[in-house]
Amino acid sequence: MKNGAVVACEVRVFPLKVKRQQKSWPERGQREIQWFSRAKAAKVVKERALGDIIRSVRSDGFAITDEELELGLRSIAVPVKTHQNKVVAAMNIGVQAARVSAAEMIHRFLPILQENAGMLAPLLR
């Protein structure tokens, strides 16, 4: 914090492309906002692991959440792209974390997601 105090917090990463911002919203003024490209965001974060996450989502071609959003929920997602390679949506599979490991999600479900997301490209504009 600006006064030097250390506060523990949980960070959830949701990459998104912002085209515009509302002029007013309920919590305006309660936090500092800075907009960065994904590459710059990965460079400026102090926590190396967070920078690694920001860099990896695009290069890996998928994102996985491992109980960060909900205890007991593990999920894997891939981008859905148009034939011009523009990301327009995402496709995901969620499972009970106790039943399927993260490694199994990648091995078993990632190819299915990638195949089906690819099948949508010709149908999207």
In a domain, 20, yes or no: no
Whether 66 and 47 map to the same domain: the answer is: no
Looking up tokens 């309660």, which residue turns up? 30
Q: What is the pTM of this model?
A: 0.60
Range of 102's domain? 62-123
Domain identity same for 56 and 69: no
Query: What average pLDDT does range 1-15 have in this prediction?
Result: 65
pLDDT at 122: 83
Residue 70 sits in the same domain as residue 52: no
Three-class secondary structure of residue 65 per DSSP: strand
Residue 54: pLDDT over 80 = no
Confidence class for position 15, pLDDT limits 50, 70, 90: low
Q: How many domains does the chain contain in total?
A: 2
| 91 alpha-carbon distance from chain centroid | 12
- Indicate if 73 and 116 belong to the same structural domain: yes
The reply to whether 48 and 69 lie within a common domain is no
Q: Where are the beta strands (DSSP E) in the chain?
A: 63-66, 73-81, 87-96
pLDDT of res. 65: 83
Span 59-110, pLDDT tens digits:
788 888 888 778 899 999 998 888 888 888 889 999 999 999 989 999 999 9
Tell me the pLDDT of the chain averaged across its residues. 81
Residues 56 and 66 in one domain: no
